[in-house]
Amino acid sequence: MADITSNFLGIKSPNPFWLASAPPTDKKINVLRAFEAGWGGVVWKTLGSQVKNVSSRYSAVDYHGSRVMGFNNIELISDRPLDINLKEIVEVLKLFPDRAMVVSLMADNDRKSWHDIIAKVEDTGAHGLELNFGCPHGMTERGMGAAVGQDPEIARMVVEWVMEKATIPVITKLTPNVHSVVPTGKAAVEAGTSALSLINTIQSVTGINLDTLVPNPYVAGKSVFGGYCGPAVKPIALKFLTTIAQDATTSKVPVSGIGGISTWKDAVEFMLLGASNVQVCTAAMKHGFRIVEDMCEGLNNWMDEKGFKTLDDFIGKSVNKIVHWEDLDINYHHIAQIDQTKCIHCGLCYIACEDTSHQSINLDFGKPYNTYTIKDEECVGCNLCELVCPVENCITMVEHRVAPEYVNWIDYQKLGLPLNDH
């Protein structure tokens, strides 16, 4: 079988699946249960100055009967005393010395505070530190969390303070509440961070109770912007991850991928776009810790099928496949094809194409059902019909070429070629 052991900054773990800094990593009992289930590592919930959390704290977005498509929280860093957290980290490390133990930190914005907490955490024997530059609620008002991650120069200053003191690997966690994560990522790398992790949660409002008129989550008739995560944020996380992997400076350090990872397939996608390992939170909170068993098995089987022996064999393989729009081949084309043996005659493809796209599907009325076929000469290969079809592989996109040579948009303009939908 493939070898799925992970070596991230010299921090070894039996698999690349870590639990992210969050409620599941807030105390010894949770982390022990996670390690017993098979997780490769954890990032202990953020430690810092004492805080007091509110109630309630969570809300979610459901979609078409699926619960928790997106998850929102207004919880702050760990509200447990620092000395208790540190004591429990030591105890967990003794019981599971083969698992990765990284501790998330968010100190007050001065050099001494960072140096003091780093010394205390390193005394536990932890393997690494993660700097929380991403929390988008509560801590930002105190000049911490996303307030640091949104300003590259402040981030640079804090990382420099940390690197003065730290003797173990340092991971800087980036906020997605910016136009681009690259400036802060570059500042952190230039300041000496050992690695990056992303994304943290996205500032959000998940919905409003239409009886009370108060947004969720509800705290004595009020609410605040929370941090959004879960499957809904995965496409955004993959975009930000790719920008880090494609930048000359930020690509010099390894990246821990975070954001909506629920299955082994999600994890593979993150790793193909440059992540060396992945962190999971919402999926574990929804399904429990044992989901890691399927993740490990699925990853193993996929690697065996593809002939990959180690994680390094495929990490970053898809990064260069994302290019600028101007580099795409305009002479490349798709035409939809409907498999009549699989069609259930629901008409969803026809409605979508006729009402909102290119009127490229024929409707032939009949008994006992209607028949739908593609107008090849009208189809622009947009994929809409395939996406709305409820039957897997009933509609497929067949590759065609308008002309044999590769021509991108810039070439197209230089050649003065006529513009049309095809």
- The catalytic site residues sit at 135
Residue type, 150: Q
CA diameter of the chain: 80
CA distance 183 to 386: 38
Burial 321-355 (b: 16+ CB within 10 A, else e): eeeeeeeeebbebbbbbbeeeebeebebbbebbee
Give the HSE-up count for residue 392: Cα atoms under 13 Å, Cβ half-sphere: 0
Identify the helix (H) or strand (E) that includes residue 143: none
Asked whether the beta carbons of 134 and 158 are under 8 A apart, the reply is: no
CA distances from 200 to 218, 287, 321 (A): 22, 21, 25
CA distance 242 to 133: 19
Q: With CA atoms as reference, report the closest residue to 136 among 77, 193, 92.
A: 77
Encoding tokens for residue 11?
A: 């921090």
User: Which residues does 91 contact at the CB level (< 8 Å), separation at least 6?
Assistant: 28
**371-374 and 361-364 as β-strands: parallel, antiparallel, unpaired?**
antiparallel
CA distance 217 to 205: 9
State the DSSP string of 18-60. EE-SSGGGSSHHHHHHHHHHT-SEEEEEEEES-----S--EEE
Asked whether the beta carbons of 222 and 55 are under 8 A apart, the reply is: no
CA distance 227 to 137: 7
CA distance 134 to 185: 12
CA distance 145 to 398: 48
